[in-house]
Chain A
Amino acid sequence: MLFHKISVAEYTLLPTMPPQSHCQNKSATLTTRRHFLAQSTTAISCAFIAGRSLAQSPASSTPGASAALKPNGGAIAWVNATLLPVDKPPIPDGVLIVAGGKIKAIGSKQSTPIPSDATVIDAKGKWIMPGLVCTHSHIGGMGAADSSSPIQPGVRILDSINVRESGFRRALAGGLTTINIMPGSGHLISGQTVYCKLRYFEQSPRIVDDILIRDKQGKPIGGLKMANGTNSQGDSPFPGTRGKSAYLVREQYIKAREYQAKVAAAKDDASKLPPRDLHLESLVEAMQGKRIVHHHTHRHDDIMTVIRLSQEFGFQTVLHHVSDGWKVAKEIAAAKLPCSIIVLDSPGGKLEAKDLVFRNGRVLDEAGVRVAFHTDDGITDSRLFMRSAALAVRAGMNRDKAIAGLTLAGAEMLGLDDRIGSLTVGKDADIAILSGDPLSSYTRVLETWVEGQLAFDLSKSQDNLFAEGGLKAGSDLDPFLCCYAQAWQGGAK
């Protein structure tokens, strides 16, 4: 367990609460400028749900949502498969039982009785692993912070996600079931990220609410995106140097601390609360451990700067990309920060990624650092996410650790490992069914299941289109990625 839990294990897949009267009352209190930090989290989530109810008809008229909500019928039992539970050693010839959207049982054929009413599926020759978790993706859009300021922690990516983007379907074709959708790296703080489940069944999600992962109170869960190094530098008001970058971040967190103190001092007295500030609220949440900081960083000295700032302000941090991580692996291990690394087919593209190597995962892991991989989709293709782990193994990374890097380690870095990331009884039935070893280049994802429902089936023509590509399988716009457009126009930052 890497982090303080944001939420308890029990949760609802989607908010089923109708806008009840107590919610409406409390949401009304928000309009009286009561500060949310002084309120219970229930009030906040009610406010969110109430807000949603205004924008949307009841659930019955939203087929996407109702499909996602439909409880799974009877149990399904896969037999004769090679199971990769991730939290335990592989099980050859295993049995996996799923019901009600959850994993009900997993084990060897001998030790795992199959309920008489279960649908039994012979998965001989196939491998079953947890649905893949991508800790860093840009599917659905990048539109959080704009170019007006380098620090915009109050801006939410969830307000910009296009759930009809074909990238979600392509991600399912890669076995992904959970993604952290992030704003870009062109800011010191580019906004709030959001954790999503790929609930793309026969009826697609209609609005972003249909794919959110929520806590017990119904509040969407997400992190905070930060960046340092060259991507987040630029012309004024953006910083021009690394020193200025760190200064600007420290200044904001100090303001957030002062804000936090004022809110605490006001207790329940609304008249004493400071004017509500969405940016500072977000930073306070980060310092309280309610919002994990996902920090883009490449060069060894930038990595050390992230460690320094995270220690000064106490925000929980996942280091992302970490191209030079292998150079400061001991220091990262000592700071107990996990790394979500990118694996690219070559180094470079900018100076601070020129020493990126396949052995990064191995060196970090051997130093005692928890390692996950990410796609950074559209930088790499979610359909080929498993090859990131395979290339790390090529460079000597422990095989089990590499597979955990696609699943459980990522779940930990999102603070969701109590519900996803391994084939463990009680966790969500998010699974990928493969034609063989996940580390083989010839292996194909055959099916992807999300919360007990089939979300991708290679044998269906529409799903096959997204898996293979072809007419209308892609995105008709080039990805809007930090530095990508600039690079295209001649020279990355």
Chain B
Amino acid sequence: MLSLPSNSILADTALVVQAKKILTAAGKTIEDGTIVCVDGKIKAVGKTGEMNIPADSKILKCEIVMPGMVDVRTCVGLSGILNIKNDSDQLESSSPLQPELRAIDAYNPREELVEYIRSFGVTTVHTGHAPGELISGQTLIAKTIGNTVEESLLIDGRAIAATLGEGSTKAGKQSPGTRGKQMAMLRALFIEAQEYKSKLAKQTEAKPDKDTNKDTNKDKSSEPVPRNLKLEALVDVLAGKKALLITADRAQDIASAIRLVDEFKIKLWLDSAADAQLMIPEIKAAAITVLLHPSMARASGAKENLSFQTAAKLHAAGIPFAIQGGFEAYVPKVRVILFEAAVAAAHGLSFDAAIESITISPAKILGIQDRVGSIEIGKDADLALFDGDPFEYTTHCVGVVINGQLVSKGN
């Protein structure tokens, strides 16, 4: 599915990584371990003394190796380093409801910031349209390598990004100007999508019999339903093919998001969610997944109540979550999830849970856990190598492997 990068450092020989500690994110840590990567996949993992290493293998040694990190929510590649019109495609402000905007048409795999986060071991990103409009557009999942979006792509159109609260209200007489209006607009659109969905279903049922070439139904519903890109995208959400990612920080906006899920039976990813710590029972009862704001997000505005301990509280409550890099309008233009998880680890989240919050947990949330997120046989050989505890600020990433290729010497 993925093309190997043309500038690959290694040829087709096996790549072997040996570390004093392998953090597998699959329930165990292996001391003095070896990982054998062949054809872009992990072929073997185990104790160094007990492993057969293919001849001519390229061997990389380090202190600690962990799975390549998965950023569960970023806008990198749509949002660029210069922060000027020409490299900022994360938000189209001409209309509050644009679920039809595809991330694949905007993602720049050569964006410097993609390379930047890769140098710290981020190998997969769920990126796309930013918070800021009621529905700002779609997202995609990509590896942080590749010269075209097609080379990088894992999944196109993974979610539709929406925003509740002051982040997407408008001034003056433009809508939505209030929270109530936001929900009214969203509900109206989803009801329209439900109707569109049932029309599409009737059309399928009403298809002419090919053998007899006879119309089984001659009423008006047999006329083809005109394509509607906006509603098609939402039909995917109603059908469970795409998640609805709702950025909601304040408790009342989180409650509104839950209400929307109840009404339309859709898969919700609660994004940012600064007040999640105040809404643990409600989030748990609604069985919702949280794409948690960066630990170092600013404690102001809608995020005034955010806490360094939210990750620990979600973990303790058994709520599925991952720590995101998120979107930054100014500086730092992109956040590195390694650092964000480090802060959570210093504020109550266990070391193992912090590692999982940027590896296997986001992979499971995004539905790509069969490919990435842990060091297990058969998975993509995506690895991050370190010269010490990955969460220590003074430790270095000393190598990044994607699809069995050394793609970065670290940072």
Contact = CB atoms under 8 A, between A and B. Distances in A.
Nearest to A470: B307
Interface string A316-347: 00000000000000000000000000001111
B46 to A, nearest CB: 30
A92 interface: no
Interface in A443-493: 443-444, 468-479, 481, 483-484, 487-488, 490-492
Contact of B396 (A390, A394, A474, A487): A394
Nearest to A439: B394
A408 B82 CA distance: 34
A478 B301 contact: yes
B298 A487 contact: no
A349 B333 contact: yes
Interface string B268-312: 000000000110000000000000000010111101111111100
A479 B298 contact: yes
Nearest to B347: A468
Given A378-B298, A474-B299, A394 B330 contact: no
Contacts of B342: 441
A348 B93 contact: no
Contacts of A394: 393-396
A38 interface: no
Contacts of B339: 345
Q: Interface size bucket, B side?
A: 35 or more
Given A391-B393, A441-B345, A471-B305, A487 B329 contact: yes
Interface of A is mostly: loop
B304 A474 contact: yes
B91 interface: yes
B343 interface: yes
Contact of A473 (B296, B305, B392): B305
Given A441-B392, A473-B305, A381 B298 contact: yes
B2 interface: no
A387 B296 CA distance: 12
A165 B80 CA distance: 33
Interface in B84-109: 84-85, 88, 91, 93
Contact of B343 (A378, A441, A483, A491): A441
B391 interface: yes
A141 B246 CA distance: 31
A492 B330 contact: yes
A469 B299 contact: yes
A50 to B, nearest CB: 37
B147 to A, nearest CB: 21
B201 interface: no
Contacts of A490: 88, 91, 93
A378 B331 CA distance: 11
Nearest to A475: B300
Contacts of B395: 394
Contacts of A474: 299-300, 303-306
A144 to B, nearest CB: 20
B113 interface: yes
A380 B303 CA distance: 15
A142 to B, nearest CB: 13
A472 B305 contact: yes
A468 B82 contact: no
Contact of A478 (B81, B88, B278, B300): B300
Nearest to B166: A478
Contact of A349 (B301, B303, B331): B331
B394 A393 contact: yes
B305 A346 contact: no
B299 to A, nearest CB: 3
Contacts of A443: 346
A440 interface: yes
Contacts of B91: 490
A477 B302 CA distance: 8
Contacts of B328: 349
Contact of B391 (A384, A441, A484): A441
Contacts of A468: 307-309, 347
A8 interface: no
Q: Is the interface of B mostly helix, strand, loop or mixed?
A: loop
B251 to A, nearest CB: 9
Contacts of B307: 468-470, 473
B353 interface: no
B309 A491 contact: no
A346 B330 contact: no
Contact of B82 (A348, A387, A439, A472): A348
B334 interface: yes
Interface string A207-223: 00000000000000000
Given A348-B81, A468-B307, A469-B309, A477 B301 contact: yes
A172 to B, nearest CB: 14
Contacts of B116: 346-347
A439 B299 contact: no
B332 interface: yes
A487 B87 CA distance: 13
Nearest to B90: A490
Interface in B71-89: 80-85, 88
A411 B19 CA distance: 43
Contact of B393 (A348, A351, A441, A491): A441
Contact of A469 (B81, B308, B346, B392): B308
A201 to B, nearest CB: 22
Contacts of B162: none
B234 interface: no
Contacts of B335: 345-346
B63 to A, nearest CB: 15
B324 to A, nearest CB: 14
Interface in A340-368: 344-351, 353-354
A170 interface: yes
A345 B307 CA distance: 20
B336 interface: yes
24 contacts: A170-B299, A345-B332, A348-B83, A348-B113, A349-B328, A349-B330, A349-B332, A354-B112, A378-B300, A379-B331, A439-B393, A441-B346, A441-B392, A469-B308, A470-B309, A473-B305, A474-B304, A474-B305, A476-B301, A477-B300, A479-B300, A484-B330, A491-B85, A491-B88
**Top 9 A-B pairs ranked by shortest CB distance?**
A474-B299, A348-B81, A474-B304, A469-B307, A390-B393, A349-B331, A348-B333, A478-B301, A345-B332
Given A353-B331, A442-B346, A469-B305, 16 more contacts: A346-B333, A347-B333, A348-B80, A348-B332, A350-B82, A350-B83, A354-B81, A378-B298, A441-B392, A442-B345, A443-B346, A469-B308, A471-B278, A472-B305, A484-B329, A490-B91
